[in-house]
Amino acid sequence: MSSESASPELQINIKGPNELKLQINIASDKTVRELKEAVAAKSDVEADRQRLIYSGRVLKDDDPLTNYKIQSGHTIHMVKSAARSGASASTSPAQSTPQHLPSMQAGQNPHDPLTQLNSHLGYGALAGFNPFQEMGLNPNDPNMLQTMMSSPQFLQQMSATMSNPQVLDQIIASNPQLAAMGPHIREVFQSERFREMISNPESLRTMLQMASMFNPGGAAANPFGGLGGLGGAQPSFPAPGVPGQPNTSNPTNTTSTNPTSPTTAPGASAGAGAAPGGLPPFDPNLLQNMLQAMGGGAGAGGAGAAVNPFAALGGLGALGGLGGLGGGLGSPPAPADTRPPEERFQTQLQQLQEMGFTNASQNIRALLATGGNVHSAIEYILSGGGL
Amino acid sequence: MASSSSATGTPSNTLLLRRQLTELMKHPVEGFSAGLVDENNLYEWEVMIIGPPDTLYEGGFFRARLSFPPEFPIQPPTMRFITPMWHPNIYADGKVCISILHPPGEDQYGYEDSGERWLPVHTVESILLSVISLLSSDKPNLDSPANVDAAKEVREDFATYKKKVRHLVRMSAEATFD
């Protein structure tokens, strides 16, 4: 279809070694060789040394680009290789930044279920692993959490943590506020919905965006301030962690946000991640610590939080958020959000659009019916709801 | 939630795969490239891993297939290298044996915690990053090896093992570009 009349111009992104990024505009009837020459003109990598890889395939010089069905806006990997007949590749310089993966640490007390957080299960990563340092990210960057949420390691850890009943028991037992809620809170923790919330990047992201909307500059800076808000957000979508929400303990998460971050931040550069235990057992601030450790704030995990009086507040605020979740199940619904659904669900609507659900009014009805959960909305739409 | 496991081939998992595909096409991840074998089948993916720098695998290009079952994402995909490999955690036929690709529930190896096995939150990206880290580690993990001979060689004659791997890496680069 592209061969008739003038061939359309493609805008192709090239992702090369050493963070090299190029944008090439080229007609779709050109060959791979011509694309390589265009890349060579914009970089210092001669065409002969370029290896272009797209969609799991190596692009061959003589083929026209149409063979590979490259679409505008798509990205092609470019690898610099030794000259074609060249010597062993190991003599060439590093072609890209290596993938750093979290190092694991052994727990201290094998009888404590929370020690698993430091064991081979991978949570040990939380103590020593600071992804943001490597990526050069500022923990106070509002986008930091989004970045974190898109990390598969983080998601895996979250999901695994929440699916381990022992860990849940410990979290509950170690916190009077949670324990006081009785079996209720267990159900909440173990509910499909909570699990989904905590392991679903979309819903976390969405809720984070909302949290930062309501607490500008605060919640986004502190991972847990955000999550605390989220806890409140899930059951009664329209009132995401707004200070003054019926749940009394909720506002604490906003007060704690800013003071905690700077105090714990130095831990990161000190590389204190190796601090024994990483996450102290029976620490009510467990989640707070986890997230701060992730956030690059406290490599030292518990140590950082323990000396910081505000961290305790943060932990309570966070749990208050969970309390909101628990409370939401039985208590009267929070006051309705007066904004139109198009505005409230803007992010989710966009996601549904991107996934190919183009019926806007059906999307809105689905989101209304599912409280803004994109995944449930998809199920709803696919089963014919909202038409 | 329950509906996705009942009917096979519900469109919701192709949506999930389509979404991951689009994302990887627009914003590919360092270290690998992925696409479909046949553009009409979202369950068969073609993958190329770019040998991680500063490892034995530097300079190599490793082709593999990812096959998703109809029950995805409840059940994991399988990954099979097409490029010949010599590694304790990769079967002689190329099938990759890593814990996150082991189905949930059953523990056929007796030592894995459920959190290490497949979880529906895994994506093509998280799988590939795991495989890249498998290739990147200095000494392969020798617990319950998929390729016993390779494991034995790692233990008893590491120099020969490395030589063999380097040879395959060079072959992979030649096979890719000639």
> Structurally, how many domains does chain B consist of?
1
Residue B100 C-alpha, separation from nearest chain A C-alpha, in angstroms: 10
- ipTM of predicted complex: 0.80
How would residue A36 be classed by pLDDT, with cut points 50, 70 and 90? Answer: very high
- Which CATH number characterizes residue B35's domain? 3.10.110.10
Domain parsing of chain A, residue ranges: 9-80, 149-210, 341-383
Measured distance CA(A281)–CA(B28) in Å, rounded: 39
Examine residue B137 and state whether it is found in any structural domain, yes or no.
no
Say which residue, A38 or A249, is predicted with more confidence.
A38
B129 and A164 within 8 Å at the Cβ level: the answer is no
CA contacts within 13 A on the Cβ side of B108: 8
> At which residue do the structure tokens 């037992």 appear?
A173
CB A166 within 8 A of CB A329: no
Nearest to A199 among B1, B10, B121 (CB): B121
**In this complex, is the C-beta atom of B12 within 8 Å of any C-beta atom belonging to chain A?**
yes
Conformational region of residue A36, where left means phi above 0, alpha means psi within -120 to 50, and beta covers everything else:
alpha
User: What pLDDT shows up at residue A274?
Assistant: 34
pLDDT at A174 over 80: no
Measured distance CA(A54)–CA(A15) in Å, rounded: 11
User: What pLDDT shows up at residue A242?
Assistant: 38
Conformational region of residue B169, where left means phi above 0, alpha means psi within -120 to 50, and beta covers everything else:
alpha
DSSP A181-244: TTHHHHHHHHSHHHHHHHH-HHHHHHHHHHHHHHSTTTTTTSHHHHHHHHHHHTTTTTS-S-TT
- What digits encode the pLDDT tens for the residues B31-76? 999 999 998 899 999 999 999 988 999 999 999 999 999 988 889 9
Best-predicted range by mean pLDDT among A180-184, A249-253, A292-296, A333-337?
A: A180-184
Q: Does domain A341-383 have CATH number 1.10.3720.10?
A: no
Best-predicted range by mean pLDDT among A113-117, B14-18, B151-155?
A: B151-155
- What digits encode the pLDDT tens for the residues B95-126? 999 988 988 765 555 666 666 788 888 899 99
Residue A267 C-alpha, separation from nearest chain B C-alpha, in angstroms: 27
Q: Confirm whether B97 is a catalytic residue.
A: yes
Examine residue B153 and state whether it is found in any structural domain, yes or no.
yes
Name B79's bridge partners: B66
Could you list the residue range(s) of the whole structural domain that residue B39 is in? 2-128+142-177
How would residue A265 be classed by pLDDT, with cut points 50, 70 and 90? Answer: very low
| pLDDT average, residue stretch A296-304 | 34
Nearest to A97 among B3, B30, B35 (CB): B30
A354 and B28 within 8 Å at the Cβ level: the answer is no
Measured distance CA(A175)–CA(A317) in Å, rounded: 12
User: What pLDDT shows up at residue A290?
Assistant: 45
Nearest to B19 among A55, A58, A355 (CB): A355
Q: Tell me A7's DSSP state.
A: P
Q: What token pair was written down for B109?
A: 């190896």
B173 and A81 within 8 Å at the Cβ level: the answer is yes
CA contacts within 13 A on the Cβ side of A327: 21
Examine residue B135 and state whether it is found in any structural domain, yes or no.
no
Q: What token pair was written down for A269?
A: 């550069």
pLDDT at A284 over 90: no
- What digits encode the pLDDT tens for the residues A180-200? 666 666 666 666 666 666 666
Mean pLDDT of chain B: 86
Burial of A104 (0-12, 13-18, 19+ CB in 10 A): middle
Burial readout A21-37 (b: 16 or more C-beta within 10 A, e: otherwise):
ebebebebebbbbbbbb
Measured distance CA(B174)–CA(B178) in Å, rounded: 6
Burial readout B122-154 (b: 16 or more C-beta within 10 A, e: otherwise):
bbbbbbbbbbbbbbbeeebeeebbbbeebbebb
Measured distance CA(B59)–CA(B166) in Å, rounded: 9
| pTM reported for the whole predicted model | 0.47
Beta strands in chain B (DSSP E): 32-36, 44-50, 61-67, 78-81
User: In a mutagenesis test of the B interface, which of A90, A97, A375 is the best target, namely the one with the most B β-carbons within 10 Å?
Assistant: A90
Mean pLDDT of chain A: 59
User: In a mutagenesis test of the A interface, which of B33, B49, B54, B137 is the best target, namely the one with the most A β-carbons within 10 Å?
Assistant: B33
Burial of B37 (0-12, 13-18, 19+ CB in 10 A): middle
User: What pLDDT shows up at residue B61?
Assistant: 93
| The CATH fold of domain A9-80 | Ubiquitin-like (UB roll) (3.10.20)
CB A234 within 8 A of CB A207: yes
- Name the pairing type of β-strands B32-36 and A57-58: unpaired
A121 and B115 within 8 Å at the Cβ level: the answer is yes
Name A52's bridge partners: A78
CB A298 within 8 A of CB A278: no
How would residue A12 be classed by pLDDT, with cut points 50, 70 and 90? Answer: very high
A97 contacts in chain B (CB < 8 Å): 30, 53
User: What pLDDT shows up at residue B116?
Assistant: 78
Nearest CA to A78 out of A42, A106, A58, A51 is that of: A51
Helix A286-294, helix A223-233: angle, nearest 10? 130
**In this complex, is the C-beta atom of B18 within 8 Å of any C-beta atom belonging to chain A?**
yes
Nearest CA to A378 out of B77, B16, B9, B21 is that of: B16
Examine residue B133 and state whether it is found in any structural domain, yes or no.
no
Q: What is the number of other CB atoms lying within 10 angstroms of the CB of residue B157? A: 12
- What digits encode the pLDDT tens for the residues A315-342? 333 333 333 333 333 334 445 567 777 8
Examine residue B161 and state whether it is found in any structural domain, yes or no.
yes
Range of weakest confidence among A7-11, A237-241, A340-344, B105-109: A237-241
Nearest CA to B11 out of A225, A218, A80, A378 is that of: A378
Examine residue B136 and state whether it is found in any structural domain, yes or no.
no
Examine residue B134 and state whether it is found in any structural domain, yes or no.
no
Angle at alpha carbon of residue A341, lines to A340 and A344, rounded to 5°:
95
Chain B 83-102, CB below 8 Å of chain A: which residues? 100
Chain B 121-160, CB below 8 Å of chain A: which residues? 121-123, 125-126, 129, 132-133, 136
pLDDT at A166 over 90: no
B116 contacts in chain A (CB < 8 Å): 120-122
Torsion of CA A207, A212, A213, A215, to 10 degrees: 120
| pLDDT average, residue stretch A165-191 | 65
Nearest CA to A126 out of A295, A315, A282 is that of: A295
B55 contacts in chain A (CB < 8 Å): 98
End-to-end, the C-alpha distance of chain A in Å comes to 34
User: What pLDDT shows up at residue A28?
Assistant: 86
CB pairs under 8 A between A and B: 146
Say which residue, B175 or B146, is predicted with more confidence.
B146
Catalytic residue among B17, B97, B165, B169: B97
| H or E element in which residue A76 lies | strand A75-80
Q: What token pair was written down for A361?
A: 């009014």
A90 and B59 within 8 Å at the Cβ level: the answer is yes
A196 contacts in chain B (CB < 8 Å): 1
Which CB contacts under 8 angstroms, 24+ apart, belong to A376-385?
A377/A348, A377/A352, A378/A352, A378/B12, A378/B15, A379/B1, A379/B3, A379/B4, A379/B12, A381/A352, A381/A357, A382/B10, A382/B11, A382/B12, A383/B3
CB A13 within 8 A of CB A23: yes
User: What pLDDT shows up at residue A358?
Assistant: 76
